[in-house]
Amino acid sequence: MTKTDQKPSGKTGVLIANLGTPDGYDYWSMRRYLSEFLSDKRVIDYPAWKWQPLLQLIILSKRPFSSGKAYKSIWNEAAKESPLMTIVKDQVVKLNQALTQRYGDDIVVDFCMRYGNPSTKSKVEKLVQQGCDKILFFPLYPQHAGATTATANDAFFKALIQQKQQPSARTVPAYYGEKEYIDALAKSIEASYEKMDKRPDLLVTSYHGMPERYIAEGDPYLKHCEQTTALLQKRLGWQDGDIVTTFQSQFGPEEWLKPYTVEEVARLAQNGKKNIAIIAPAFSADCIETLEEINEEIFESFEAAGGECFTYIPCLNDNDAHISALVKIIEDNLAGWI
């Protein structure tokens, strides 16, 4: 190899990761995406000989239609992509602007998806080609779970295995306890409440669900969710009963973390809590679980039970307080590299 053939080096890559999105809401796009997602042993840990026939022959013959319908209802038709993709792109633009302003061209910010496109492998390869000999991998999940943070890290490590010019690597741990993250959440709630004519009876913090068995096997997710709510309540200066923790998006026959959001909002309405607000602290960007599940299925459950006022407080997305919090976390994890 001649000098002119050598790759550039000396840059630091920051690779943001989120769950993923189908390329479209048609049957085959949905099937490819759901097959990859539901075949992940971190997500569904049943033996392949038992799970794959059920998944490929039964579930994936029907679910792409219902999931595709849900995605179609929220799709960003102008950009021809899901809202999650649009938001993640916006986050990366702002992160890149903030970090470039401070560190110049020595920092390269990009994003990948655990499932679907752009893949983790393709973006690791791109960062290496751009001269990154150090990569900070940042899964945008405030609370650690095997089915989110750990599987994203798995994909990152697998991508590194295939690199002949392997960069130094770090991963960002769960950040639910970071002061700036909690403050950004609190500010978004305070801003929403200020716009309301009447203060809600209580705030529901709805986290993505998980089988109870996973917690028994050592997953810290439940503890992280409970601590997030406690820290948020303390930061807001609220009393017990002003905020409750629930879990959404159950799948399969096992018992999942309770209370289920869809059932709890109905119970609240029946018990006289006719005016509630809801926020989803486990999601760094609005997606199918918030824009469709919360705003449609969970809202309808509340309304059918007699609820009158239902306010969804959006995810932090690319708002300035969120970006500032992420920049702080990135800088802390780049210590010694920059």
Mean pLDDT (the chain) is 95
User: What is the average per-residue pLDDT within 124-129?
Assistant: 96
Pairing label, strands 309-313, 243-248:
unpaired
Per-residue tokens: 196: 């309301």
Q: Residue 234's pLDDT is what? A: 97
Higher-confidence residue of 111 and 3: namely: 111
The tens digit of pLDDT for each residue in 207-226 reads 999 999 999 999 999 999 99
The full set of domains in the chain, from first to last, is 8-175+321-333 (3.40.50.1400), 179-313 (3.40.50.1400)
pTM for this model (two decimals):
0.94
Which residues contact residue 33 at a Cβ distance below 8 angstroms, ignoring those fewer than 6 apart?
Answer: 20, 21, 22, 23, 115, 116
pLDDT at 8 over 70: no
Q: Residue 224's pLDDT is what? A: 98
pLDDT at 2 over 50: no
The least confident of 15-24, 140-149, 151-160, 248-257 is 248-257
Say what percent of the chain tops pLDDT 70: 97
Q: pLDDT band at residue 113, thresholds of 50, 70 and 90? A: very high
Q: Residue 291's pLDDT is what? A: 96
Which residues contact residue 60 at a Cβ distance below 8 angstroms, ignoring those fewer than 6 apart?
Answer: 31, 34, 35, 38
CA–CA gap between residue 254 and residue 269 (Å, rounded):
27
